[in-house]
Amino acid sequence: MTRLLEVSEVSYVYPDGRSGLSDVSLAVQDGERVSILGPNGAGKTTLMLHLNGTLTPTKGTITVNGTTVEDSTLSTIRKNVGLVFQNSDDQLFMSSVIDDVMFGPLNLGFDEATARIKAEESLELVGAGHLTERTPHHLSGGERRRVAIATTLVMEPKIIVFDEPTSDLDPATRHELGELLCSLPVAQLIVTHDLSFVADVCHRSIIMDEGRVVADRATTELLADADLLVAHRLAAPR
C-alpha cells in the first residue's frame, strides 16, 4: 500500500511558548480510515492544522502523496488534503447547494459546465444529488454534512481529514454517515471523541495525549485495552 500521508517527528511550539506537538510520527496508507483520539488539549486539532499547511512545524516534516508540506507547495498540498470541519456551516456559504459544490472547481479554473458536472457527480457520490437547488442553511444536519463532504470530494483529494464528523448528529444519521465514509474511495483521517463510530468505521486508531502519540494500533485491539483508554480519559464504546 502507498503511504499517502507521513508525519515524521513533528513538533510545534505556539508563539506564547506552549508546546502543541512533541515528536509526532504517524502515517496513513492509501485506502485506510484512521482515527485520531484523545482528550481535549491532546493536540489533535493542532496536528490537523499542520496537514494542509495552516500551521508550520517547529521541527520535523509532513509529506502528502510524496510532496513535503512547505510554503512553496501549499497549493498542491491543499488540493490533495481535503478538510471537513466540525461545523458544516463553515464550508457552506452560497445560496444553493450546487453553487457551494461548484465553488472549488470554478476557483481552479474549470469552466461552468465542467464545474457543474463535477459537482453533480460529487453530490451523487454522497447521496445528495437531489439537493442541488436547495438552500444549504435549510437542510438538516445530516444533509449539510453530506454537502460539506461533497465540497471536499469535488476537489479530488488524496486524503480527507474529518474534524468530529458525528458532532450534533442523531443516532440514525450518525449510522448513515458511517456507511457513507466506508463507501468513499479515498483515504481518511478522522479526528473524533466518538469511539463507537470509530469502532464501526476505522481500520486503525491513534491516541494522542499532551501533544504526543501514545498508541497506534488496529482499532479493535486499541478499543479492547480498557486500561489504555482510561489512562487517556477515553470511554470504551458500549
Mean pLDDT of the chain: 94
Q: Contact, 43 vs 58, CB < 8 A?
A: no
pLDDT above 70 covers a percentage of the chain that reads 100
In tens, the pLDDT along 78-100 reads 999 999 998 888 889 999 999 99
Vertex 92 angle, CA 27 and 176, to 5°: 60
Query: Does 97 map to a domain?
Result: no
> What number is the average pLDDT over the span 21-43?
96
Task: Give me the pLDDT at residue 174, please.
Answer: 94
Q: How many folded domains does the chain comprise?
A: 1
Look at residue 70 in the predicted model and tell me its pLDDT.
94
- Residue 148 near residue 85 (C-beta atoms within 8 A): yes
What is the mean pLDDT of the segment spanning 215-225?
A: 97
CATH code, 51? 3.40.50.300
pLDDT of 3: 87
**116, part of any domain:** no
Query: What is the domain extent for residue 218?
Result: 3-90+158-231
Q: What is the pLDDT of residue 1?
A: 63
Q: Is residue 99 part of a domain?
A: no
Per the domain annotation, does 11 fall within a domain?
yes
* pLDDT tens digits, one per residue of 45-55: 999 999 999 99
Distance from C-alpha of 205 to C-alpha of 222, rounded to nearest angstrom = 7
* Domain-located, residue 142: no
Query: Is 106 domain-assigned?
Result: no
Assess if residue 127 is contained within a domain: no
Residue 169 and residue 90 in contact, taking contact as beta carbons nearer than 8 Å: no
Q: Can you give the pLDDT at residue 89?
A: 82
